[in-house]
Every structure is written in structure tokens, then in C-alpha cells.
Structure 1
Amino acid sequence: MEIDALVFDILGTLVDEPAGIRAAIREAAPDADADELVELWQGHVETEQRRIVEGERPYAPSDVLDREAAQVATNTDVVPKLSPWPDSVEGLARLAENHRLIGLSNAGRRSLLRINAHAGLRWHLALSAEEAQTYKPDPAVYELAVGASDAPPERLLMVATHAWDLRGAQSVGLRTAYVARPVGDPPVATDRFDFYTEDLADLAVQLAKQRM
């Protein structure tokens, strides 16, 4: 297996999205049940993204959906700050020593810039689903990475903590690596991914062994 570039999901995989939303909710509504409102927030975003993918709603970027969710959850326009997982920044730096790194996120362009700046994420290239006017797992989003990398899909490795995201990547021929996170969508028995890793350091070790 030869890998030309690593393609990273960001929300959940590299930044702790629920924790960021929870902190924003607690600031806006200190007496509310933050966990319940996080679920409400994320449920709204997931539902609306699904409606867009299925053609039931015109495309709207993620910052619009987040503003809607904030109104539903807190009746404010609070904007969450999403912090990286402890291994994310160092892990990306280590992986960049041997691979090109491409961020591929459902976050819109504006949100993606804000997330990358706050979390300290660094890429060779960052791509937003906004470029395709749809959301993962629509194949058109993964094809953005294929087109931008100028490499065949089988030489790209999609890295995510969401099994549904990896299945979407497989639909266009990308290789896949599952990274375990507390907030992810874990694989089921029928999933067959190329790598199963505990964190980015583990992924770097497995890729190094694969190159030997």
C-alpha cells in the first residue's frame, strides 16, 4: 500500500467539538442542562446536513447551521471555540514528516479558518465541503481531495473517528484509517478499514511499519 497523502476529518477527529459546544452553552445559559442542549445542537446540525445531502434543502454552510442550532439551544448567537485533542497538533507535525496532509471538513470556509487558527492545526491544504455545496458522506466531498491531490483515490488515506465518514470515503476508493475518540462513531462488525488506531501517534507508528 503506497500512500501519497493523508486526508483528515477535523470535527471530532482532531478537535473536541462537543466540549466546545458545551462550554459555549454554559457561558450563554449557565442554568441549563448543557449535555441535553449539546445533543439538541448537534442533532439539528446533523438533520439539516442530511436534508441538504438528500436535496430537501438548498446548501447552507456550517456556520449558518451552527447559528440556527445556537438559537434552538440557547436563543443566542454564541460561537463555540473548538480545542484540539491532546495528540492532534504534535501528531500532525509527526505525520507531516513523511506525508502530505489534507484537511477535509464539513465545516464551511469561514468556520474552518476559525477552527484551524484556534486549535493550531497546520496543513499542506485545507478543503471545505462548501467547495462542493454539500456535506459528507456525499461522494462529491471526498472527490475534492482526490482532485486537489492529483493522486488516484487508492493512494489517499482518509483518517476519521466517524465510521460513517470512512464508509463515505471508501465509496470513492480512498483507503481508510479509524482513530478512536470518545465522541466518534465506532466501527461495526461489518466495517473493514485499513487501519485501526488509538491516536495519531499510533497511526504514525503503523504507517512507518507499513513503509518498511
Structure 2
Amino acid sequence: MTRTDIDAVVFDVLGTMVDEPRGLTAAIAEAAPGADTDALLVLWQNHIEQQQDLIVRGVRGYATADELDAEAAARVCEHAGVTDFDVFGRLARAGRHHTAWPDAAAGLERLARTFPVLALSNANRSALLHLTANAGLRWHQALSAEDARTYKPAPGVYRLAVDAVGTLPERVLMVAAHAWDLRGAQAIGMKTAYVRRPVGDPPGPDDVFDWQCESLGELAEALGAE
């Protein structure tokens, strides 16, 4: 398989390009000094995952990622005894300030010299704008699940990327640190590349992805990027 088989490269953002758990942990520690940040992070993550799953399954009506983050922040503040509204507001916007992984910007820039590169994120449009700007990431196009009014791994989210590129699914490569995300892309026929991150969802024994790499630099090399 060569780079001529690929018309564009699509990247998950949260966890793949930025260290989301680290950013949330820092924001929680600032909002609730002395609290059990690990437990509060799990509380936040579980709320987001559960609510997104309900939306994907049609059990709950669509709510933006900003709205879900505000709900998660409210739960964290309640458990930690935080009542200051300004503190709550800063915590609810924590998703806009995550730090990029060390190889993210350089790897993205290298791949962008050979392929159109797109972001495809569960973050809503405004959050994605600020998140990628603050992390120093540059895309040819950034797509939000908000436009499909659902969340990954719903097929409609991945079709946003395929439709934006204007090609066949098998000519679009989805890059993620989450096996569940890549399975969703595979389900509509996209090519897949797993990039290992300390916070990702690693492939299971039955997963077969087109590439498995330790870094974006390794992926760029495998794809023959300049």
C-alpha cells in the first residue's frame, strides 16, 4: 500500500493529538485544590462517555460537547464542594486548553506537505477552534461531530470527513489513538492507522488496522511523507 492509495489523512484530536487527561487533571486540580484529582477525572470522563453513548444510541437528544463538558464540570464541582461560579466556568472550558503531544505539530506538518490533513473531533466547532489554536496544530480543514449532531463512533461523523474530501472511503485514512474510533472508521470503509499514546485505547486481539505506529513521525515515514 502506497501514499498514492490515500487522498487525505484525517486525525482524531482528543487523546490522539492532545493530552486530554493531563489537561483535565490540571484544570480539576486548579478548581479543587487538595481534592482527589484522579477520582474526579474518572467522574468527568465517565459522564462524557455515558452521555455521548446515549446520544449515539438515540436515547438522549443531541447536546453539544460544550454542554456535556459543563455538565461534567458541574458534577466535579458538586463532588468537590466547589461553589464559586467563576471557578466552575473555567473548569467547564478546560477542553480548550489541552497540550499537544510532543510529536503532534511536527508530525502533522510533515504529513501536510504530502496529503490534505483534516481534524475530525467530537469537540464542537468553537471548542475545536480554540483547542487546536492553543495547541499549535494546523489543519487544512477541521471538522466537528457537531455537524452530524451525534458523536463518534456513529457512521455519520466519519462520513463528514469522506464527504469533505470528495472521494471514496477507502481512499481516506483515519488516524487515532483509540481502537474504538478506528473501528468506527473501518465500519464505513476507511483506512485506519493506530498511533500509540499513553492514554489511548489500544487495539484488541481481533483488531486489524492498516498501520500501527509508535508516533506520528513513524506514520509519516510509513506513508512516504516528505
Identify the TM-score tier after normalising by the shorter chain.
Answer: over 0.9
* Structural RMSD (CA): 1.2
Query: Per the alignment, in what secondary structure is the counterpart of residue 122 of structure 1?
Result: coil
Unaligned runs of 5+ in 2: 79-87
Q: 1:164 aligns with which of 165, 170, 180?
A: 180
Does the alignment pair 1:189 with 2:192? no
Query: Per the alignment, in what secondary structure is the counterpart of residue 101 of structure 2?
Result: coil
Unaligned runs of 5+ in 1: none
Q: 1:118 aligns with which of 134, 139, 143?
A: 134
Q: 1:53 aligns with which of 29, 51, 56?
A: 56
Alpha-carbon distance in structure 2 between the residues aligned to 1:34 and 1:165: 26
Cα offset, 1:74, TM superposition: 2.1
Partner residue in 1 for 2:83: none
Write out aligned runs for 1:72-91 (5 A). 72-75=75-78, 76-77=88-89, 78=91, 79-80=93-94, 81-91=97-107
Write out aligned runs for 1:1-212 (5 A). 1=1, 2-75=5-78, 76-77=88-89, 78=91, 79-80=93-94, 81-208=97-224
Cα offset, 1:188, TM superposition: 0.5
Cα offset, 1:117, TM superposition: 1.1
Alpha-carbon distance in structure 2 between the residues aligned to 1:103 and 1:115: 11
Alpha-carbon distance in structure 2 between the residues aligned to 1:82 and 1:67: 16
Cα offset, 1:119, TM superposition: 0.3
- List per-residue Cα deviations over 1:116-166 (Å, max 9, x = no partner): 111011001100000000000000000000111001110000000000000
Alpha-carbon distance in structure 1 between the residues aligned to 2:74 and 2:101: 27
Percent pairwise identity: 57
Across the two proteins, how many residue pairs are aligned to each other?
210
Query: Per the alignment, in what secondary structure is the counterpart of residue 203 of structure 2?
Result: coil
Which consecutive segments of 4 or more residues in structure 1 shift more than 3 A? none
TM-score normalized by the length of structure 1 = 0.97
User: Which range moves more in the overlay, 68-77 or 92-101?
Assistant: 68-77
Partner AA of 1:206 in structure 2: A
Cα offset, 1:82, TM superposition: 0.6
